[in-house]
Structure 1
């Protein structure tokens, strides 16, 4: 069963029982979640304070959102009215980027009941024409749930280097600009953990704010190197949005329960004087021409970055968008009227082709640095593409 459910499934669940509905609205930098909750929430929901209830107090030694203690988390869960046999439905208003933290924590703490997440969150509820409640909800009767800790794997800061050195794939769920160090960081040193791969959590969502289809997510993570027989770990800035990548792995059909979370994440890593930091974007995957054609047939945008002379020499590529690689600012700035309409969002799959890897690689890397999360370039370039027709 998918951890996600639709509004229709939630309505059916509410008509047949009383799921415990938890609202985990939180955004880095605000606005304050309690105010947003009072302004409008799903009737019957209980507000969950991420900073106070889903984390211990932050510090430079432990990171901004250390895991809560078992005793504190159990006390919080009981205050939400949670009982051991309850079905829990979690939501937020930001693509489940915060709600995924609670989904993971409950399972890490050994909660026996079912935990689901409302795909599309509060926006999906409103788009379905469902009513909102305002103000504070009556405090629920205290629950009796018993929770512990450590039921899902974690990796600690001193274990991270060995994890990577032994071939583990470490996914970084932060935006690509923070991974590369090109965007101002709230942490002491910009960049990422050496050996990590950029896997922005926002790339798990489609243009409608819902999760991408399982096959799309499985291909995305597969392109990054995720497989069923490889050790994979996840981190982010403070351990919150990393859970979103874990959720996406589960939706994609991978065994997310074996994937460790690094709770201290980059906020802890970058605060230590003895940890190395890398900068620059992830190397874009290099795919063969047959794989490139498959992706384009499934909807990827093909960008032809050859010079006019190169196109004349090798021949045109049907359906490709001709891109001036020296004018990427105008063509891929979403605030520019000159940009290509086919590239609808940062989640749009993109395949870059040139006369050689030396031409397509820098363009693909540039796009990744701009925040595009699904970019590859073609091994052998246009000659390899045309060779398939011979």
Structure 2
């Protein structure tokens, strides 16, 4: 939180917990931007898609790469001099399991550590000053189609990380680990029984009302399809410190063939919950406060992992603690981030 308040730092990929990606620094303006010239450049040496930005903490810039997930610490004052380099040893057999290039969406800084989610499902904490491993933990199994491409986020004493691989029959989840030693605190699934999803049908709300029905993460699927139901969590996570809620989206349902997911071959009743949904979870316990499904029975691979931007705005003449999501299905959603009610 302290690092986020100083605009000279960029301590997380989204800039801050709200997900706005906005910097209040005003040295560069619309008037003088045309005069910018290259001062120095740095090549990572990896010629694949780079899908995350560098972090800046004080006078150090931290740069990451797609597979093999190198991490560099660079001196800003010394025009990119390498302070340290981390090069994990990964089994290259993970590459064919990565559905959409070998990308990685960025490292995170907290507690004097750099956190990296490696393609081979290893979540590793590095000493920010030396690059040495502090701890590492396995978050999944590439043999089951699971990989890691998401950018983890730190909230208080926990680091949250998702999972990729919806195209390979992976069952999506979000997991919280202790930032000190990597101990798993909780894991919440996107599909399956309420106890696995951490839903209480009498307390968890959908569209502002208690869900009521039990185990919709099972009953809205054909047979046991929920076990390979996708709903992976490879996008972005935002957080409201006042509400202590972490927000994120789930991806497309698995398998891609919608006929396999339809109950008795019918679309009716086959919402495939809770794929393509926005979750609001208690950051401490993982319990779901509210959930909103954007595209039930997704047949188009829209995914639902785009940023859930937190903004205090006026909606229909009233001030609202809002969550704004621009989805790949072509709709923009404005919800009350306290209750999950759909406003616009």
**Greater strand share, 1 or 2?**
2
Greater Rg, structure 1 or structure 2?
1
**Greater helix share, 1 or 2?**
1
Q: Same fold (TM over 0.5)?
A: no
Q: What TM-score do the two structures reach when normalised by structure 2?
A: 0.30
